[in-house]
Copies of this chain bind each other. A is one copy, B any other.
Amino acid sequence: MNSRSSSAQMSVRDRIVEAALDEFFASGFHGANMRSIAKIAGCSAANVYNHFENKSALLVEILRVASDEQFTATRNALRKAGADPAERWRLAVAAHAHFVATHPRECLVANTELRYLDEIDRKRVVGSRDAQEQLFVEIATKGSEQGVFSVGRVSEAVTAVLTMCSGIPLWFRPDGPLSAREVADDYGDFALNLMGFRPAGAEITR
């Protein structure tokens, strides 16, 4: 899953997963096939089937790993944050957005191809997603309870924020004018604004 590793250093299994990611990204779940994946990975189709029963198993593996890594990135960012819910919210969203900007294929495939998994496979993937969303809802709810966030429906706002992050791969390019870090920080600010953030003790006068 890590495009920084050269394919020579990768295990056959890793090369298959990497090839499948390319194939799902380029052709979609329905357009992908196990023979092309084997070809890209430089192994036989039988070898692919040794590791993964079918396309769904490959997609589940890709989406689970990506979702777990993204969750870890968010929790690591929170470990460095203090107790202020506004700051925790901003940093958590920025970490989430940074992961999306630096893992565009995984995130795009997750958004567009998840719906083609059957019920059981989808459940294996969405557990980690749901846990992530829950973490964001908890931070936002704390901000709301402490009166620094003013939106009415917190979980609807969280969904809006996570959705806007998920769209980053549609336009962000690593060689473009903004770095992944700048985009992530902007999205942290957008998310803070979106919650109707009012600094504690601040008052708006007209």
Q: Which residues of A contact B (CB under 8 A)?
A: 27-31, 111-112, 116, 151-153, 156-157, 159-161, 163-164, 166-167, 170-171, 178, 183, 186-187, 189-190, 193-197, 199, 201-206
Distance between A116 CB and nearest chain B CB, rounded to angstroms: 7
Enumerate 29 A-B pairs (CB-CB under 8 Å) in ascending A order: A28-B28, A28-B30, A28-B31, A28-B116, A29-B30, A29-B31, A31-B31, A111-B112, A151-B186, A151-B189, A151-B190, A151-B193, A153-B186, A156-B186, A157-B190, A160-B164, A160-B187, A160-B190, A161-B164, A163-B167, A163-B170, A193-B193, A193-B195, A193-B197, A199-B204, A199-B206, A202-B205, A203-B205, A205-B205
In the complex with contacts A29-B28, A30-B28, A186-B116 CB distance below 8 A: no
Q: Report B-chain residues with C-beta under 8 Å of the C-beta of A205.
A: 202-203, 205
Q: Report B-chain residues with C-beta under 8 Å of the C-beta of A199.
A: 204, 206
Of the residues B159, B163, B183, B189, contact of A163 by C-beta under 8 Å: B163
CB nearest neighbor in B for A111: B112
Q: Report B-chain residues with C-beta under 8 Å of the C-beta of A116.
A: 28, 31
Evaluate contact between B171 and A167: CB separation under 8 angstroms: no
Most chain B CB within 10 A, of A29, A183, A194, A201, is at A194
Question: How far is it, in angstroms, between the C-alpha of A29 and the C-alpha of B206 when the chains are bound?
Answer: 53
Besides A193-B194, A203-B205, 10 more A-B contacts (Cβ < 8 Å) are A27-B30, A29-B30, A30-B30, A151-B193, A157-B186, A159-B171, A190-B194, A193-B193, A193-B196, A194-B194
Question: How far is it, in angstroms, between the C-alpha of A124 and the C-alpha of B182 when the chains are bound?
Answer: 32
